[in-house]
Amino acid sequence: MAIGWLETSLLMRWLLGWALTLRLPTLPRVLPRRQRTVSVLIPERDEATTLPHLLTALARQSLRPEEVVVVDDHFIGATAAIAHGAEATLPLRVIQPPPLPLAGAARPGPCTTACWTAMGRC
């Protein structure tokens, strides 16, 4: 049976995929404990229903975060109070940046603030 152009194309793509996969760099199996840092950045906006679940899940992680930064976005809600309630189980900081003058810049402002205040790199 003759191999057609479709089969040849599929075979070449499959071989090319494997060739590219073999060239990918690999990470070390285990990093030293001091190099494994996790910073969790939470720009919150009316997250009163989901924030308790997130903080509970973070407290149960096998690799605990070095810090959890919650940025209060000056929005109506009790998310800052919920975050302060989890300070006993997590290394948590709640930050309240100055209000943004533009309504369209709602998400980038808290994200940038959280990134600049984190101990790890963003």
Q: How confident is the model at residue 14 (pLDDT cuts 50, 70, 90)?
A: very high
pTM for the model: 0.59
pLDDT of 75: 64
For the domain spanning 33-117, the CATH number is 3.90.550.10
- Report phi then psi at 33, rounded to 5: -60, -35
Question: For the chain, what are the domain ranges?
Answer: 33-117
pLDDT in tens, 17-34: 888 887 777 766 776 666
Residue 57 neighbours by CB distance under 10 Å = 9
Round the average pLDDT of the chain to a whole number and report it. Answer: 77
Gap between the Cα atoms of 119 and 50, Å rounded: 25
